[in-house]
Structure 1
């Protein structure tokens, strides 16, 4: 095994662990909000800032700082982002004020935008083809799915043991410190620019211009629609599945069997487990099948799960909504991979930032729109899921077009020949 192969393997695992660490904190926010509302007597709207402001931080950081990975290089950008994230995590040890907590979460979101765009760009540097790029991206998102399971479990365990939830961030800070040490030690691959003046062309202005590119815009809108639909599951599914929101004892009494009641309680965990499992399978699928066909079929299955779950009521949704996690598993990492792969490697950081902006915007705007519609219709979460079904249907329509017209085929072949021929 060559030194380059060993380094690339270490870098790949470093990337996977970064995604897992980020998910441990971001997908635990629902459990944390319950504690913060009691501790600081804040309203639902105020508590929602713990989700929306970090997402806004990621979005702004991705759009306005994504070019750093192309300007400064992958390694300095990743270390910078990890250092800021670690500082924010350790600061939770002294966070005993709501405004301070939200500020730290927002800072961590900005940091995530920095190191994630660097990591996404780095995946292109260690990939030998656009197909391998997609498989690696699915691997990274699979570990994100693992983090999404681990994080809430850690929070629940800490709370049950009488330990402050802030220690989740201290644990994440410890993982972050380890990742910084590994990042400093490992040798990163060099990526070569094709023209001498391209170094000067990498800038915020050039990054913002990418938004108008049809490939960047197409995959970014797809990411927005996907994340907006996905967020309905972990934000609004628990509210939709309850039997009586006014009575704690009657919350799940409408489910006749004990197994159904248990599934209702752990429905979000079931969704995350199925999504994570699907992403590990997706590593193999994307290496063997037409990615456009897989995405079209899977997005159609999501629409079926959502529509049937609404039409059949909560007793059917109890099974179909978590099941959608399998079909959601490969969509976002493939969007990320193919969107980035439509551009030369010296722009991978910038385009990753653009897609990340739309991703975070979907995560912030989707649940908000669903909540507003539900409130306008009397507070029933069913109407929010109708909105989510519309998002899913629009995504399916776009992926049907993508499969039939195959608008990226020529572009991906050109990039394959230009950027990966010597890999």
Structure 2
């Protein structure tokens, strides 16, 4: 297996889905203007994307080793290629629903397959952690690039123009090229499943993973991390607008600092994780997040609107608070990598399916809690509340490390690692 070519394929896939998944906000704005859809009606696009991700992951994650990781990724790419072509060919609101439904189904297949494929490539835990951090960093680069790609096709002078739909010709071409790249790349999937296991036994083996102490602690850590990331990421534009008194457009632009921090942090951690142990790094990141919140939010008090506001006279909190993304960046990829590299290869698919499900739950919960607190109190209190899950993760990582070390001991019972037990 030629690892560089396989990795290039995985990175290209994640880049494509980063653009598609995170375009929902832009598409909501455009379908409101282009098709005259109400805000409440347009908001369902988020559900068309997220609900299929959780459902499909739950149903098929344990079966992907049987189907083949490469086949799953090819099917996912084929689905989004076809859906992207439908957008300009059949311009309508229902087509946008179909697009995000397709993206959700495809991403459920792709994420499980991509994460499981990394387990086939990594030589050891540090290499695995490095690859996962780099992969997630590439994802954030795709998020940033997607904003600029879509903006290049939007006609600001004519809000009702359908010119923005031409971006999907480009996206369909990128998807098709990625499909060809993966199709012509060899992927050795030896050891990804236990021969002779029935589909039903494989499914219940995935469910039994949740009963393990190591997996329970991991799920808690991942859940609360995504809760923080989505809570801050989703409501930071509103915080910038209502608390820091930035104009709407500038509020969104300032939020890109958060996404850039996540991208830089994960790409940097991809190199760093080859040399250092994950536990002190993540503890340092969590402490830095808490310190940044405690130092920055007092700067957001008592800000009054300015008649003329620009990047030169914007509140300093608008630049400092989004940097929290730089410190939170390594946490999610690192705990995912540690968890997966602690399991046999044949369990990576099922474990990634559980990861996708609980990540979706954490993201939804974080956004709802932050929004509710934001409305009931204010944005500062809502962001101060992030200190609670940060403390929970600090505690859970302590037990997570102990559980991982127990699994790695020679006297650890092999039966505990067998999906058939």
Aligned twin of 1:256: none
CA distance in structure 2 between the aligned counterparts of 1:142 and 1:224, rounded to whole angstroms: 19
**1:278 aligns with one of 236, 252, 265:** 265
**Residue 181 of structure 1 corresponds to which residue in structure 2?**
180
The question of 1:151 aligning with 2:138 is answered no
* Aligned residue number for residue 257 of structure 1: none
1:123 aligns with 2:118: yes
| In structure 2, distance between residues paired with 1:140 and 1:337 | 11
Q: Which TM-score applies when normalising by structure 2?
A: 0.85
- CA separation in 1, counterparts of 2:103 and 2:189? 28
Q: Which runs of 4+ in 1 moved over 6 A?
A: none
* Change in 2 beyond 3 A, CA 1:413/1:373: same
Counterpart in 1 of 2:390? 392
Matches of 2:68 and 2:154 in 1, distance apart? 41
Seen in structure 2, the aligned counterparts of structure 1 residues 362 and 60 have a Cα distance that, compared at 3 Å, is same
Other structure's SS at 2:33 match: helix
State the aligned residue count.
397
Q: Residue 166 of structure 1: SS of its match in structure 2?
A: helix
Q: Cα deviations across residues 10-43 of structure 1 (Å, max 9, x unaligned)?
A: 1111111111111112223223322233334445
Counterpart of 1:235?
234
Q: Does 1:381 align with 2:379?
A: yes
| Cα shift readout 1:209-233 (whole Å, capped 9, x = no counterpart) | 3233333332222222111211233
- Which runs of no fewer than 5 residues in structure 1 stay unpaired? 254-260
| Aligned-partner Cα distance in 2 for 1:413–1:145 | 36
Equivalences for residues 131-280 of structure 1 within 5 A: 131-160=126-155, 164-192=163-191, 196-198=195-197, 203-242=202-241, 251-252=246-247, 264=251, 266-280=253-267
1:118, distance to aligned residue in structure 2 (A):
0.7
Q: Deviations over 1:112-135 (max 9, x none)?
A: 000111111111011111221111
* Whole-angstrom distance in 2 between the partners of 1:206 and 1:194: 12
How far did residue 176 of structure 1 move? Answer: 1.6
Relative distance call for 1:154 and 1:139 in structure 2 (3 A) is same
Residues 166 and 289 of structure 1, relative CA distance in 2, 3 Å threshold = same
The residue number in structure 2 matching 1:370 is 370
Could you tell me how far apart the structure 2 residues matched to 1:80 and 1:414 are?
A: 40
Larger deviation, residues 311-320 vs 17-26: 311-320
How far apart in 1 are the matches of 2:266 and 2:125? 18
Q: How far, CA to CA, are the matches of 1:42 and 1:212 in structure 2?
A: 45
Contact 2:132 2:334 in 1 (8 A): yes
Task: Give the structure 2 partner of residue 305 of structure 1.
Answer: 292
Distance 2:90 2:233 in 1: 26
Which residues of 2 match residues 80-119 of structure 1 at below 5 A? 80-119=75-114
Aligned to 1:328: 328
The answer for unaligned runs of 5 or more in structure 2 is 302-314
**1:19 maps to which residue?**
14
